[in-house]
Amino acid sequence: MNAPRRAPLLAPSFLAADLANLQAETERLATSAADWLHFDVMDGRFVPNISFGLPVLQAVAKYAKQPLDVHLMIEEPQHYLSAFRDAGAANITVHYEACPHLHRVVQQIKQLGCRAGVALNPHTPVALLEDIAADLDVVLVMSVNPGFGGQAFIPNTLKKVAMLKELLLDAGSDALIEIDGGVSLANAGPLVEAGADVLVAGNFVFSAPAGPVATLAALRDHLQALDASAAEGFDGSRKQ
């Protein structure tokens, strides 16, 4: 079973932004090619690092023009869902590995009016989502080990995305597949080809010499060119 390919969404990750100037970073992304703004929350328990919390999300939300995509890398996320919604989250993603009562947590998120997402660590099989796939709005595939930015992309992610795409289609789920970690021009095309719908990019965007706005535009152009090339090839194969 195949489904029409959706235009991929781009979600720059604030973990790699200039943390001393988050208002300026948010404002300059307002008219960029960014579709979502990705916001990583780490508690030092689920992952060995501590990052943003509620006050920072509230501050960013005042200036954000794009939906805030909040990725909770925390233990017991069910206790904080309404607070993150109130702080400005449009999407809330929790980790499969942190939620023994995952269905209940997903329903909590949806009842708050947010998109409900579930993230999978690199070692977690996509098959574990089979019984909940139809309830999800987003599945986030970690293409690095969670906790730190700047890590190298794990190549097996491409196989995992393709398997996840098949699982979602079989379940009748319209969930978006989001990729987080090591995304760049080198792997963006293959990820989208495998089934990815949302690309989170941190260091690639914010550390680029051209700056985040130009880099996001280049990534968008790159993906559109690949899509156009694929369409031409498909048309050509039909004419032969």
- Assign 177 to helix, strand or coil: strand
Helices and strands counted in the chain (H then E):
8, 8
Q: How far separated are the first and last CA of the chain, in Å rounded?
A: 24
In the annotation, is 137 catalytic? Answer: no
The catalytically annotated residue of 35, 40, 43, 69 is 40
In this structure, what are the phi and psi dihedrals at residue 115, rounded to the nearest 5 degrees? Answer: -65, 135
In the annotation, is 180 catalytic? Answer: yes
Q: At what angle do helices 185-194 and 157-170 cross, to 10 degrees?
A: 30
* Residue 138: exposure state from Cβ atoms within 10 A (0-12, 13-18, ≥19): buried
Both tokens of residue 93? 């993603």
- Assign 55 to helix, strand or coil: helix
CB-based contact 42:60 (threshold 8 Å) = no
Measured CA to CA in angstroms, residue 221 lies from 2, 7, 67, 214 at distances of 25, 12, 22, 10
- Assign 32 to helix, strand or coil: coil
The catalytically annotated residue of 69, 137, 180, 197 is 180
Q: Could you give the residue numbers annotated as active site?
A: 40, 180
